[in-house]
Structure formats: C-alpha cells, structure tokens
C-alpha cells in the first residue's frame, strides 16, 4: 500500500512538470484520428434485380429470335424487333399465333397457346428465321 502512495506522488510531479514544459504552446498535436465508428457503412447486399431477359418476351435481333422462350399457358408474350427490317412471329402451324412486328424497336404481343407443348415459329418475310416457343 505504501508504495502505491509514493508512485502516485511521483506521477503527480511528472504531470506538473510536463504541464510547465509545455508552456511554449507546442503541445503535441492531438491526433484526432477519425475513428470509423458508426461511419462504417454496412455491406449493403441489396441484390440488384438481375435483369434476365424480360419474362414472356422474344427479342428479335440480327434476324434471329434468340434463345427458345418458355412461357406459361395463355401468357402474353411480348415481341420486340431490334432489327430495322420488319419481322413476324408466326407459328409454323399457321394459326396458333402470328404477329407482325415493325422494325427499329417495334413491339407486338400475342397470347401463348393454352395447351402445353412446343410451338415452332418462323418469320414469314424471312423463312430461314426459326424460333421455338415452349408452353408448359
Ligand atoms: Cu423476318
């Protein structure tokens, strides 16, 4: 216990001396370290809606229909024509569905068959254009 008291006195002296020495005003700059307390933005894991090809849609580009499209029975399918040329989406059977889509971003919609199955289609202007609509 006795030693503790002595230590305390010495400490007091040291502090006093230190204070006197700093009379010049050149006190060590208090490094006000910006403590990232509360400023740390929590990792926002907001999954940005991955823009998969819009559901129930067919995009025509470069005289191609793109990947086969699968839709629900009776779904409304939107066709977008990114070519400058006009195209159609015409069911090979001729009557299930058929839309004419203006070029340069034209769009059209048709209703998918209500019966599940695979419905190949083509473009009446460019018969080599072949696509596939799957209903299930
Ligand atoms: Cu075409």
- What is the Å distance from ligand 1's center to 119 Cα? 17
- What is the Å distance from ligand 1's center to 136 Cα? 26
Model confidence, pTM: 0.61
DSSP annotation of 21: H
Residue 64: what pLDDT?
A: 97
- What is the Å distance from ligand 1's center to 114 Cα? 25
b/e burial code for range 82-115 (CB count within 10 A of at least 16 → b): ebeebbbbbbeeeebbebbbeeeebebebebbee
Residue 22: what pLDDT?
A: 45
- What is the Å distance from ligand 1's center to 109 Cα? 16
- What is the Å distance from ligand 1's center to 99 Cα? 11
Task: Give the chain's residues under pLDDT 50.
Answer: 2-4, 9, 11-14, 16, 18-23, 51
Residue 34: what pLDDT?
A: 57
Which residues, by Cβ under 5 Å, contact ligand 1, an ion? 87, 123, 125-126, 129
Give per-residue pLDDT as tens, 60-99: 999 999 999 999 999 999 999 999 999 999 999 989 999 9
- What is the Å distance from ligand 1's center to 127 Cα? 7
Residue 55: what pLDDT?
A: 83
- What is the Å distance from ligand 1's center to 121 Cα? 11
Specify the long-range contacts of residues 38-42, CB closer than 8 Å, at least 24 apart.
Answer: none
Residue 2: what pLDDT?
A: 46
- What is the Å distance from ligand 1's center to 106 Cα? 13
Residue 94: what pLDDT?
A: 85
- What is the Å distance from ligand 1's center to 58 Cα? 13
């Amino acid at each position: 216990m006795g030693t503790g008291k002595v230590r305390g006195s010495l400490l007091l002296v040291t502090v006093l001396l230190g204070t006197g020495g700093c009379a010049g005003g050149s006190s060590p700059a208090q490094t006000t370290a910006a403590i990232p307390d509360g400023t740390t933005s929590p990792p926002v894991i907001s999954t940005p809606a991955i823009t998969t090809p819009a559901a129930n849609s067919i995009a025509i580009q470069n005289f191609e229909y793109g990947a086969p499209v699968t839709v629900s029975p009776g779904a409304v399918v939107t066709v977008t024509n990114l070519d400058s040329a006009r195209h159609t989406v015409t069911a090979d059977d001729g009557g299930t569905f058929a839309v004419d889509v203006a070029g340069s971003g034209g769009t059209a919609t048709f209703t998918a068959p209500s019966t599940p199955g695979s419905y190949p289609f083509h473009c009446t202007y460019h018969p080599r254009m072949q696509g596939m609509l799957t209903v299930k």
